[in-house]
Structure 1
Amino acid sequence: MAVWMLGGLLAAVLAFAAYVRLAPLDPGRWDVSPSVLAWDNGGPWDEVVAMEGGASLRLSTAVGAPDALLARLDAIALATPRTQRLAGSVEAGRITWITRSALWGFPDYTTAEARPDGLYILSRLRFGRSDMGVNAARLKGWQASLTGG
């Protein structure tokens, strides 16, 4: 009986792992403009803000021209392990990347959009509620690479 239960548990874990890695990637769902709601209440500029299941960052024009920041961020993101572009381009003014965790391959989606007043970035998980701070940490690393800090 215990062998069957262990076998069933193992099969469930493997099925979950396969689903996480093989679930369809829908650019239409994830390549959307970062909501301004995160900044409606006077949220900070040039500071990573952690939130449940993700993080946001809004870089001011004092850091650089939004289009130039987006181009540099694209190179930084693509140099990040397990990260690829899901949709968008520098020319379109918005890019969404997908970064997968090392062990399970959990996908996180990061969208950056160049706007006249700055570069808006939103990073969020796909599965679950808590990202255990990985999106905020990633954004802080990307910000440091962008600003040289």
Structure 2
Amino acid sequence: MSRWVESVERHITAPADRLYAMVADPEQHRTIDGSGSLVGAMDISSPVRPLGVGDRFSMKMDFGGKYVMTSTVIEAVPGARFAWQSRPHEDSAKWRLVFGGRIWRYEFEPDGDTTLVRETWDLSEEPLRAVVVLGRRVARGAMRRTLDRMAALAEAA
């Protein structure tokens, strides 16, 4: 792993396809979000779920202020891997000076009756990554809470 990439993982007692469906549908992101910063999905480019490579969606955010991030799906391998790259929405101009380009990735590896889920925060394409990486500990905690929320929802289904 590079110093610009942070990952957390956990086993969840649910099939990979069910977990993949959670992250490949932006309307479910607020439900699983462990950061508390997601307000809700908007401007989803495709009515089809799960989303595929090239599809776009925007999320209303509230973390140090209200803003909107627009994401493009960059990886979509059903049941195995889903990733998107986020940049500030054109309506969030002041945030464009601070960040843009981070990648969020989820990987799913079936392991007996469980699935190993790995969430990755990749800053390798983030312009101000040296500043943003200061939030590494906060990001790790949020990712752990996200996987805990995914587990609670998927295991209850």
TM, length-normalised to structure 2: 0.47
Specify which structure has the higher proportion of helix.
1
Structure holding more strand per residue: 2
* Structure whose CA Rg is larger: 1
Q: TM-score, normalised by structure 1?
A: 0.49
- Identify which of structures 1 and 2 has the higher relative contact order when contacts are C-alpha pairs closer than 8 Å and 6+ apart: 2
